[in-house]
Every structure is written in C-alpha cells, then in structure tokens.
C-alpha cells in the first residue's frame, strides 16, 4: 500500500505521544480511530487534541482536515480492523509492548504496517509473538509529534524492506522528516545523541564546573541555536571556513579527541539528582511549565515556518 492509499489511521494508546500523533494525523486530513483502555481516555484525548490543534491551525491544515474525523473505541481489535496504518503508543515496557503487538497483529489486516513509537525498545524483541512480523516497524517520533518533524524508522530481524519503505513514504508524504536507521540499536539515534549530551551535562554539574542554569544557557543561547538549523556535521563543516570539514578535522580533530578521552561517566547519585532538581526549580523561578510549553511551541512554529522558506538548508 502506498501513502496515497492511506486515509485511515489507527492510534493505539492515547497518552502524551498518542494524543499528539492523533492531532497531527487529523491535521493532515486523515481519519483516525483511537483506542486506549484507561478510564476517561476519550475525554482526555479530545481535550489534548483540541489543545494541540492551535499549532496545525496556525501552520495550515491539509484539505479536509477536521476534528470530526476522530473516533474513539476502547476496543483495541475494533480500532485496528479497518486501519490502513497503525501507530502504537502504549507503555514503554517490553512485556506490555510484545503482548500489544501480538493482539494488533492478530486483529489488523495482514498487509497493514504497524509502527511503534517506542523510545528505546528493539523491534526484533517487540515483534516476536506476531504472525506477520514482516509488517512491524519502529516509527519513533520526537515529542511533540504534532510539531517536530523527525521520525526514526527501523525494522527488526523479521521486518520486510517493503514495510520500511511504506512507513518512510507515508511519514514523508504527511510532512514528516523520517530517517532510516540501517541497524537496530537501543535508544535509536536521536535519543542516544541526547543521552550523550546529558551525560556530560550531569558530569559537569557533578564536578562543580557550571550550574544547571549555566548549562542550559550554554546550549539554548549557544550551539542549540545552530543545531536547530544544521546538524553537528554541517556545523562542523562551516567551522572549517574555506577548508570546510577536512580542514576542521585536521585543525581541531586532535583537540576534540582529547576532550572525548576526558568526558565523564556520571551516575545519578541522590546528591547529583538533588543538585539538578534544585537547579531546575531555581531556574523556573515560579514560571509554570505549561506557560513555557505554550511559548516554546509558538517559537517552534515560527522556526519551522522560517526553515521551510530556506530551501538551501538540507
Ligand atoms: N513521552 C515522550 O517524550 C515520548 C517521545 C517519543 C516516543 N515515546 C514513546 O511513546 C510511547 C508512549 O509514551 P507516552 O509518553 O505517550 O506514555 P503515556 O503513559 O502518556 O501513554 C501510554 C498510554 O498507553 C495506554 N495503554 C496502556 N495499556 C494499553 C493497551 N493495552 N493498549 C493501548 N493503550 C494502552 C495508557 O492508558 C496510556 O494512555 C512509549 O513507547 C514511549 O517510549 C514517548
């Protein structure tokens, strides 16, 4: 099935990520059947989707996009029976995921791709109980999926290349920026990159080199501004001036290697946890997380609009 055929999506699990995916799929003009066994899940979902809707509304809804295209059932099997693509967002536990996939696989038409949003589990382990493991893929979004374009796609040992191709094509066609991971690895790519940065950030706090607020300033008012525009390698290339990447690797490579050897390997001791949570509370200085989230999303919309008008950026 190609993307142009896909008009009906099932969203399985409607917590933080499922609700955000639901808003995105609806904004793309798709029909969504959502399911979640939790008490009050439908009310929560409709409230979350209504809250998220202001982003796609501001950025432009696809023709036919409507909140009326959302339906909900607590019955998992009924939700996926007529789906043409399934996005799974259940709890991040291998035993729960594997059982969920066994049920989804038994209930969904055998040619339909089932994508998991899992932040770190391996699809090879998730798909073990499926009769049709060939259509099970990872489709890992970045929070919030209704705004952030990245989706990481990778197959497990039993996944067919066609399922990966369908997922990549579907995500790209609805405006996402999917990347295809050639090998499974715990935490995928983007979370491992974040984890590498967090590791050193926690280490620097542990050493007393900088405060929590200094570290957030160092990223949010420093390289973070460039990273939103170009990735680490193209930024490195630009740091090399006329000589580009080759010059910078010759010039700064030995220094970078020496920093790598000096990087930390902290543990989340109770003391370090306290230092970080106290530092975060100090930085918040009474600001609400909700207010910051609203402002962050408004700036993200502006940034995404600006980026889409800059065709020279890859
Ligand atoms: N939160 C993030 O930043 C983030 C980002 C990317 C990916 N993810 C991944 O998305 C998935 C969901 O994470 P979340 O943060 O939305 O969690 P969440 O706890 O907010 O939502 C999980 C939902 O799954 C539901 N659920 C439980 N059992 C179920 C079942 N049998 N069938 C269907 N639904 C069931 C729960 O009721 C809940 O609503 C996880 O795999 C997670 O790793 C999370």
Report CA(88)–ligand 1 centroid distance (Å).
8
Residue 1, pLDDT > 90, answer no
Average pLDDT, the chain: 96
- Residue 144 CA to ligand 1 centre (angstroms): 13
**Dihedral (CA of 45, 170, 112, 148) sign:** negative
Give the β-pairing of 113-116 and 31-35: unpaired
Distance from the alpha carbon of residue 13 to the mean position of ligand 1, in angstroms: 6
- Residue 186 CB less than 6 A away from ligand 1: no
**pLDDT over threshold 70, residue 252:** yes
Q: Is the CB of 313 under 6 A from ligand 1?
A: no
Q: Is the pTM of this model over 0.85?
A: yes
| Ligand 1 pocket member 248 (CB < 6 A) | no
Whole-number pLDDT of residue 51: 92
pLDDT at 241: 95
pLDDT band at 312 (very low <50, low <70, confident <90, very high): confident
What angle (nearest 5°) sits at the alpha carbon of residue 194, between those of residues 191 and 199? 120
Q: Is the CB of 119 under 6 A from ligand 1?
A: yes
Task: Tell me the best of 10, 11, 12, 17 to mutate to test the pocket of ligand 1, counting ligand atoms within 8 Å of each CB and taking the most.
Answer: 17
Is the pLDDT reported for residue 212 higher than 60? yes
Are 120 and 46 a contacting pair, CB within 8 Å? no
Asked if the model's pLDDT at residue 3 lies above 70, the reply is no
Q: What is the 3-state secondary structure (H, E, C) of the chain?
A: CCHHHCCEEEEECCCHHHHHHHHHHHHCCCEEEEECCCCCHHHHHHHHHHHHCHHHHHHCCCCCCCHHHEEECCCHHHHHCCCCEEEECCCCCHHHHHHHHHHHHHHCCCCCEEEECCCCCCHHHHCCCCCCHHHEEEEEECCCCCCCCEEEEEECCCCCHHHHHHHHHHHHHCCCEEEECCCCCCCCCHHHHHHHHHHHHHHHHHHCCCCHHHHHHHHHCCHHHHHCCCCHHHHHHHHCHHHHHHHHHHHHHHHHHHHHHHCCCCCCCHHHHHHHHHHHHHHHCCCCHHHHHHHHHHHHHHHHHHHHCCCCCC
Q: How many residues in the chain? A: 314
Q: For residue 188, is it left (φ>0), alpha (ψ between -120 and 50) or beta?
A: left
Block residue for tokens 């639901």: 22
* Model pLDDT for residues 68-119, shown as the tens digit of each residue: 999 999 999 999 999 999 999 999 999 999 999 999 999 999 999 999 999 9
Residue 15: pLDDT band with limits 50, 70, 90: very high
Given this model, what pLDDT does residue 127 score?
Answer: 97
pLDDT digits (tens, 9 = 90+) for 57-68: 999 999 999 999
pLDDT at 313 over 90: no
- pLDDT at position 309: 86
> What are 138-155's pLDDT values in tens digits?
999 999 999 999 999 999
Q: Looking at the predicted structure, is the pLDDT value of residue 161 above 60?
A: yes
Mind listing the pLDDT tens digit for each residue in 215-235? Answer: 999 999 999 999 999 999 999
| Cα–ligand 1 centroid distance for 261 (angstroms) | 37
What pairs with residue 140 in β-bridges?
A: 152
Place of tokens 């709890």: 91
pLDDT of residue 4: 60
> Using an 8 Å Cβ cutoff, are 265 and 198 in contact?
no
Ligand 1 centroid distance, CA of 16 (Å) = 7
Residue-level pLDDT at 113: 98
**Ligand 1 closest atom vs CA 35:** 33
Distance CA 177, CA 150 (A): 5
């Amino acid at each position: 099935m190609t993307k142009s055929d896909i008009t009906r999506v099932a969203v399985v699990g409607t917590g933080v990520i499922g609700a955000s995916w639901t808003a995105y799929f609806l904004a793309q003009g798709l029909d969504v059947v959502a399911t979640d066994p939790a008490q009050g899940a439908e009310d929560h979902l409709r409230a979350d989707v209504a809250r998220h809707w202001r982003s796609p509304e501001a950025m432009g809804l696809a023709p036919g996009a409507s909140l009326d295209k959302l339906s909900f059932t607590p019955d998992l099997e009924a939700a996926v029976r007529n789906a043409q693509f399934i996005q799974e967002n259940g709890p991040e536990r291998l035993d729960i995921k594997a059982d969920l996939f066994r049920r989804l696989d038994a209930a969904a038409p055998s040619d339909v791709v089932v994508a998991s949003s899992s932040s770190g589990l391996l699809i090879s382990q998730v798909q073990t109980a499926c009769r049709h493991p060939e259509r099970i893929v990872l489709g890992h979004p970045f929070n919030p999926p209704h705004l952030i374009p990245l989706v990481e796609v990778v197959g497990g040992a039993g996944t067919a290349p066609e399922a990966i191709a369908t997922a990549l094509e579907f995500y790209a066609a609805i405006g996402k920026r999917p990347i295809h991971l050639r090998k499974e690895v715990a935490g995928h790519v983007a979370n491992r990159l974040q984890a590498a940065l967090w590791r050193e950030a926690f280490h620097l706090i542990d050493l007393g080199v900088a405060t929590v607020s200094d570290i957030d300033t160092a990223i949010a008012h420093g390289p973070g501004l460039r990273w939103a525009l170009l990735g680490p390698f193209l930024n490195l290339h630009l740091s090399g001036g006329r000589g580009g990447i080759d010059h910078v690797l010759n010039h700064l490579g030995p220094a970078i290697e020496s920093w790598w050897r000096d990087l930390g390997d902290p543990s989340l001791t109770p003391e370090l946890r306290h230092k970080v949570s106290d530092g975060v509370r100090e930085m918040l200085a009474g600001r609400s997380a909700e207010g910051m989230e609203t402002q962050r999303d408004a700036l993200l919309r502006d940034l995404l609009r600006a980026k889409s008008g800059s065709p020279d950026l890859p």
